[in-house]
Amino acid sequence: MFKKLMKVAGILMIFSALWGGLEASAQNRTISGTVVDADKQPVIGAAVTVVGNASIGAATDLDGAFTLSVPAGATISVESIGYKSQTFKIGDQSVFNIVLEEDNEMLEETVVIGYGTQKKRLLTGATINITGEEIQKMNTTNALGALYSSVPGVNIVQSSGVPGAGYNITIRGLGTNGNSNPLIVIDGVAGGNLDDLNPADIESIDILKDAASAAIYGARAANGVVLVTTRQGKVGEKKATVTFDAYMGFQQPNTNGVHGVTASEYLDLVKRAGLNEYDNIEETMPVQMEWIRKGLWNGTDWFTESINKNAPTNNLAVGISGGGDAVRYSFSFTKSYSEGTLGAPKPTYYDRTTVRANTDFSILKKNNRDVIKLGENVTVSITDSRGMSTGGRGSDVSNLLTKTPLLPAWDLDGSLYTYEKQLRDGWDARDNEVNLLEQQCLKESQGKGVRVQGNVYLEVNPIKELRLRTAFGVRANTNFSREYTPKYQLTASTFQEYDSVKQSASVSTNWTWELTANYKKTFANDHTVEALVGTSIEATGWGMSVNGTRSNTKFGTWESANLSSVDGALTSDEHASMGGSNTVPYNNLLSFFGRVNYSYKDKYMFTAIVRADGSCNFAKGHRWGVFPSVSAGWVISSEPWMQSTKNWLNFFKIRGSWGQNGNCRINNFQYTGTISMSGQYDFSYDQTNPVTAAYPDNIPNPNLSWETSEQLAIGFDSRFFHSRLGVIFDWYIKDTKDWLVTPPNMGILGASASSINGGAVRNSGVELSFTWNDHIGDLRYSVGLNGSYNKNNVLYINTAEGYLKGQAKIISENVAKLEGYRAEPGKPIGYFLGMASEGIFQNQKQIDDYNAKGYAFMNGYDAAQPGDVIWIDQNGDGVYDEKDCVEIGNPHPDFTMGFSISLQWKGIDFSINGSGAFGQQVMQSYRQFALQDLQSFTNNLVARYWTGEGSTNSFPRYSSGSHNNFKCNSYNSDIFIQNADYLKIRNITLGFDFKQVFKKIPFQQLRVFVTGQNLITITGYDGMDPEVGTGSGVDNWSSGIDTGFYPSPKVFMAGVSIKF
């Protein structure tokens, strides 16, 4: 089988080589020979080329033989994937027998693990390593945006399409009801923020998926760990390397064709729903009806109006790095700016400037070894942005989708249609309708966030085997802002009779301090032991904030408005307010940890880790959590009895691990009953002397303690066919226990709930990834394909009712009888709950048939008509109530996949990659049927309605939203559920490196490229974007609820990348 494959591959290669060879001009002399490996097996398809003139070359045939005509005195190189390259000069010899050495470099690579590095070959856990190059190629503003297609088992969803929006990362399935993002460790400092980091500064990202790998981070590693290493100067890089990267582009929203309806369509739809609301529309908007008749206007599609056409995005990055024996350095400067695709006429944007400096100094050297080394990594980022609320009822995007089209956004002369114009035209079709665009334009704001994250470290190697290290890391956030709102009158009751200015400033600091000692020694040649002990402390430092608001500014302009540009004292300003807060230093987390690695002949590996963490979030006696883990690996391919497979199986390692990690991410002081002093009452006769009212504001839980995640994982890493093919497989069971849950509590308790250790969930799954790297002549290519399957299943919930309630009223305010999603044993966390249907009554006969069979009808038999939903009375008791509500959808994908293809030919490079998710559902309703009958419609919804026999079997006829078709006895229902499988082409890049063709140019690289991001989404989902990164702003553990969501942008860009 294998031989056959090789033959086919070989023949292909020969063809391509011949084709390539045709171009080579006949030269002085002909050489020939064979290429074999260490085992004397022929190496097929090896590239034999002339150094400095890649156009002259040949590939070896099935017997490893080649012939080539070359200029005299040329240098020849022989390359083949999986082998170390060789070069030799042609003398008089004309026949060459070349033996290529196997290249195991890929396996000798070291990767970052917690508090150290390790050879990839010796890893016993499931980790993914992504190089900085791979990330930079994607040209994303945030490094996480570049990882979609290459990280099996890691689900990355951008929280929204707002520029600068963060990402939700879930590793191996959602396990907690709290914050499910993994711990981000940047250059050893835990709790960092990837948003602040320029992707071009990243040397590598390592994702630790299994518990054993993450265990050294014990506390807070329950959701996995992402280790980020930034670029460092390298020893021996005497001449500074300067890089310059820039791109510009534009973006369009990924709306999937969704838009609002016109005014006449809308009026028609309202009428078809049986509402008489606009029977006298001629009286309530006489002028606009005239406009419609004259064809001057046909309603406002607020959503489309809000689109910022061709929103610009650009990025500029400059980096310098180098290093000698004493100092290594790496500096960079980045400026990036992106406008959002929504929010016109004042679109959202994100502006970030990042400056980074990494240096290290060798203070004492002995035998070419750094005995004492001091270094620092610092990133300073300055951000400025304008956002928009997205997800959830009442958010900006939801408002744009549901706002009545009857109100003009613009007057005929192109100016904003203001309240005065409503009065002028006698526009009275709705109460208090605000022109959203006018509202969006009102407020001016300016602000900067300055964030500093970094560390300094001292490393001492008194003897070769021992490395002592201490590092002090700091994160500091500073924010300043100034906002100005002019006086306005948007409607009769939405107005402000004065202008106002608000200024605020805040500073917060966190620091970490860690000490580690690492000892590594090889005994008797074969036994290598590495032991690490360490301690770390993480603390909150001093912090403070102040803010103030004043009104009636002196000049009444945005430019001059500030807290001092107001007449009179603070107390004379009726709308003034002042506030402030501070934090007092305290220790958040205290940890002790130890790790032992043992390997025998690099063949058998074993690791044990234990970590103890104390968290201030729990009461004495519940503070400490101890998290152990063990893991082992066996490189089977190194066994002597595996020699026979050597020619096709280069590497095969089995690994297994078990471990525990903790989570303590909750609000502090829930173990005790805190007293709120925010109440007031006034017992003074002149009513100007309110006194403080104090009350307990929560029901304390003194027993609160750690949430634990426990994972058992087994997998293998393998490389085949001279490492051309890589296959990685993983299987895992991850149980998260003692969930930190804050269940909604009964009103009769009289105060808000505290968290409890309340549940457990199991995620189990498999991950499989394939990579293939090879070349056909000059054409180098690689293909990656990975997929993962995960099953999410709640094991138990400790609350009185045995399940965890989500929110009711997800679809509409009046759909209130039962929560729309839930965490319940035996079901995936956050599954959708509601009434199920089995189609739509297409005709009266069908209704009669159902009636004859004795079916129950939600509105009674007499009321049923064609176009109504056939609800399922699950228990057949003739009533539709809570007992008939079942699982109607699962927001978690069963299967996620990623793929990437990259090609390189001479100076040209091309790559395409994408990712997909399958098996999940989205609950979507942009309008609130049962509450707001007059909200607008979107075209995708219009297309869904039943309009007559045979038109659809999944969505009902037009009717008032209070009909049970839409509110189902006030229960949620499956008519709002859709399959949301999707496949997205995330990135297509075409580049050309001039250096590859014009060797003389004084650059190491001069590459130009064009990139398209998010260009194609293949989905059956009819809403805007099937990748819904939100549960509509309610519980952390809910997802896949689309009530109006800022879609991700399509990006078209071109750029240049230069290296000196």
Partner 1 sequence: MKKILFTIAVCVLTLVSCEKLDSLLDTKNYSKADTSSFPQTEKDAEQLVNSAYSTMHSLYTGSIFKINLFRRMIASDDIYGAGSKSSKETTADDRLLAPSSDEDNSVWKSFYNGLFRCNFALEAISAMDDNLFTGDNKAWYLGQTHFMRAFYLWEMAERWETFPLTLSTAVENMPKASVDEIYAAIAADLTDAINMIPAKYGYSKDNNLAGRATKYAAEALMGRVWMFYTGFYKKTDMAGINKTQVIAWLEDCANTNVSKFDLEKDQRELWMYSNEYSSGIAYGVDFGTYANKENLHWVGNHSKETVWGVHFSYTGSGYNRLAEWLGFRNSTQTPNKDSYPYSAGGNGNASVNPLFVREWYEDPDYGPNDKRFYGTILVANKKKIAKAYPWYKGEVELPNFTGHDSKEIERTWFYTKKYQAMAAYSDGAKTTLKKNFFNIVNGAINNNAKSGNKNDAIYIRFADVLLMLDELKETTTGMNRLRARAGLEPYDSYSFERLQKERRYEFATEGMRFNDLRRWYPEKAGEIIEKNQTGGYIEFLGKENTYQELPGRSFSQRYALTRGFWMIPQEQINLQQGMLEQNEGFKDGQNYLFVDGDLPYQN
866-895 positions binding partner 1, by CB under 8 A: 879, 881
Q: Residue 753 corresponds to which tokens in the numbers above? A: 């709930």
Site for partner 1 in 114-173 (CB under 8 A): none
End-to-end C-alpha distance for the chain, whole angstroms: 48
Q: Is 859 in the site for partner 1 (CB under 8 A)?
A: no
CB nearer to partner 1: pick between 277 and 376? 277
Q: Is 570 in the site for partner 1 (CB under 8 A)?
A: no
Kindly state the smallest distance separating residue 277's Cβ from partner 1, in Å: 8
Kindly state the smallest distance separating residue 957's Cβ from partner 1, in Å: 17
Q: Is 1056 in the site for partner 1 (CB under 8 A)?
A: no
> Binding residue for partner 1 (CB under 8 A) from 414, 746, 950, 1002?
746
> Binding residue for partner 1 (CB under 8 A) from 30, 94, 581, 875?
581
Cα–Cα distance measured from residue 756 to residue 798, given in angstroms and rounded to the nearest whole number: 9
CB nearer to partner 1: pick between 159 and 745? 745
> Binding residue for partner 1 (CB under 8 A) from 8, 570, 626, 997?
626
Q: How would you list the strands of the sheet with 921-924, edge to edge?
A: 977-979, 921-924, 1041-1042
Kindly state the smallest distance separating residue 1034's Cβ from partner 1, in Å: 14
Q: Is 270 in the site for partner 1 (CB under 8 A)?
A: no
Q: At 58, is the secondary structure helix, strand, or coil?
A: strand
> Binding residue for partner 1 (CB under 8 A) from 586, 600, 861, 998?
586
Q: At 479, is the secondary structure helix, strand, or coil?
A: strand
What burial letters (b/e) apply to 308-325, b meaning 16+ CB within 10 Å? beebebbbbbbbebbbee
60 to 79: interface string for partner 1, x by CB under 8 A: --------------------
Q: At 789, is the secondary structure helix, strand, or coil?
A: strand
| E strand map for 62-108 | 65-70, 75-79, 86-89, 95-100
Task: Give the β-pairing of 225-230 and 183-186.
Answer: parallel
Q: Is 681 in the site for partner 1 (CB under 8 A)?
A: yes
Cα–Cα distance measured from residue 133 to residue 1035, given in angstroms and rounded to the nearest whole number: 37
Site for partner 1 in 588-607 (CB under 8 A): 590, 592, 594, 596, 598, 606
DSSP per-residue string spanning 843-857 = SHHHHHHHHHTT---
Enumerate residues 6+ apart whose C-beta is below 8 A from 466: 517, 518, 519
Cα–Cα distance measured from residue 874 to residue 878, given in angstroms and rounded to the nearest whole number: 9
Cα–Cα distance measured from residue 154 to residue 224, given in angstroms and rounded to the nearest whole number: 10
Q: Is 684 in the site for partner 1 (CB under 8 A)?
A: yes
> Binding residue for partner 1 (CB under 8 A) from 69, 481, 952, 962?
962
CB nearer to partner 1: pick between 367 and 572? 572
Kindly state the smallest distance separating residue 761's Cβ from partner 1, in Å: 22
Kindly state the smallest distance separating residue 582's Cβ from partner 1, in Å: 8
Q: Is 683 in the site for partner 1 (CB under 8 A)?
A: yes
Q: At 441, is the secondary structure helix, strand, or coil?
A: helix
Q: Is 497 in the site for partner 1 (CB under 8 A)?
A: yes
Cα–Cα distance measured from residue 777 to residue 177, given in angstroms and rounded to the nearest whole number: 53
Site for partner 1 in 752-791 (CB under 8 A): none
| E strand map for 368-438 | 369-386
Q: Is 523 in the site for partner 1 (CB under 8 A)?
A: no
Q: 160 with 795: CB under 8 angstroms?
A: no
Enumerate residues 6+ apart whose C-beta is below 8 A from 3: none
CB nearer to partner 1: pick between 479 and 672? 672
Q: Where are the alpha helices (DSSP H) in 744-885?
A: 844-852
> Binding residue for partner 1 (CB under 8 A) from 933, 974, 993, 1035?
933
CB nearer to partner 1: pick between 547 and 951? 547
**Identity at 700, one-letter amino acid code:** P
Q: Is 526 in the site for partner 1 (CB under 8 A)?
A: no
CB nearer to partner 1: pick between 262 and 970? 970
Site for partner 1 in 273-302 (CB under 8 A): 275-277, 279-280, 283-284
Site for partner 1 in 638-677 (CB under 8 A): 668-669, 672-677
Q: Residue 135 corresponds to which tokens in the numbers above? A: 């990330």
> Binding residue for partner 1 (CB under 8 A) from 8, 642, 693, 997?
693
Kindly state the smallest distance separating residue 82's Cβ from partner 1, in Å: 36
Among the listed ranges 237-245, 688-696, 946-954, 999-1007, the one in contact with partner 1 (CB under 8 A) is: 688-696
Q: Is 751 in the site for partner 1 (CB under 8 A)?
A: yes
Q: Is 724 in the site for partner 1 (CB under 8 A)?
A: no
Q: Is 513 in the site for partner 1 (CB under 8 A)?
A: no
CB nearer to partner 1: pick between 89 and 527? 527
DSSP per-residue string spanning 714-738 = EEEEEEETTTTEEEEEEEEEEEEES
Site residue total, partner 1 (CB under 8 A): 92
345 upstream amide cis, omega within 30 of 0: yes
Q: Is 685 in the site for partner 1 (CB under 8 A)?
A: yes
Cβ neighbourhood burial of 852 (10 Å; 0-12, 13-18, 19+): exposed
CB nearer to partner 1: pick between 358 and 597? 597
CA-based nearest residue to 379, from 342, 399, 405, 353:
353
Kindly state the smallest distance separating residue 905's Cβ from partner 1, in Å: 52
DSSP 81: T
Residue that the structure tokens 């004292």 belong to: 569
> Binding residue for partner 1 (CB under 8 A) from 191, 345, 744, 919?
744
Among the listed ranges 12-20, 129-137, 695-703, 865-873, the one in contact with partner 1 (CB under 8 A) is: 695-703
Site for partner 1 in 796-815 (CB under 8 A): 800-801, 805, 808-809, 813-814
Q: Is 534 in the site for partner 1 (CB under 8 A)?
A: no
Q: Is 403 in the site for partner 1 (CB under 8 A)?
A: no
Site for partner 1 in 893-932 (CB under 8 A): 931
Q: Is 816 in the site for partner 1 (CB under 8 A)?
A: yes
Cα–Cα distance measured from residue 332 to residue 242, given in angstroms and rounded to the nearest whole number: 9
Site for partner 1 in 984-1043 (CB under 8 A): none
Kindly state the smallest distance separating residue 872's Cβ from partner 1, in Å: 17
Q: At 268, is the secondary structure helix, strand, or coil?
A: helix
Kindly state the smallest distance separating residue 818's Cβ from partner 1, in Å: 6
Q: Is 682 in the site for partner 1 (CB under 8 A)?
A: yes
CA-based nearest residue to 313, from 1059, 1057, 911, 1055:
1055
CA-based nearest residue to 1043, from 944, 937, 927, 892:
927
How far is residue 177 from each of residues 351, 740, 828, measured CA to CA in Å? 32, 7, 12
Residue that the structure tokens 């400059």 belong to: 318
Q: Is 531 in the site for partner 1 (CB under 8 A)?
A: yes
Kindly state the smallest distance separating residue 573's Cβ from partner 1, in Å: 9
Q: Is 950 in the site for partner 1 (CB under 8 A)?
A: no
Kindly state the smallest distance separating residue 129's Cβ from partner 1, in Å: 28
CB nearer to partner 1: pick between 41 and 676? 676
Cβ neighbourhood burial of 780 (10 Å; 0-12, 13-18, 19+): middle
Kindly state the smallest distance separating residue 930's Cβ from partner 1, in Å: 8
> Binding residue for partner 1 (CB under 8 A) from 312, 345, 387, 700?
700
Cα–Cα distance measured from residue 41 to residue 722, given in angstroms and rounded to the nearest whole number: 12
CA-based nearest residue to 311, from 339, 337, 335:
339
Kindly state the smallest distance separating residue 492's Cβ from partner 1, in Å: 4
Q: 404 with 934: CB under 8 angstroms?
A: yes
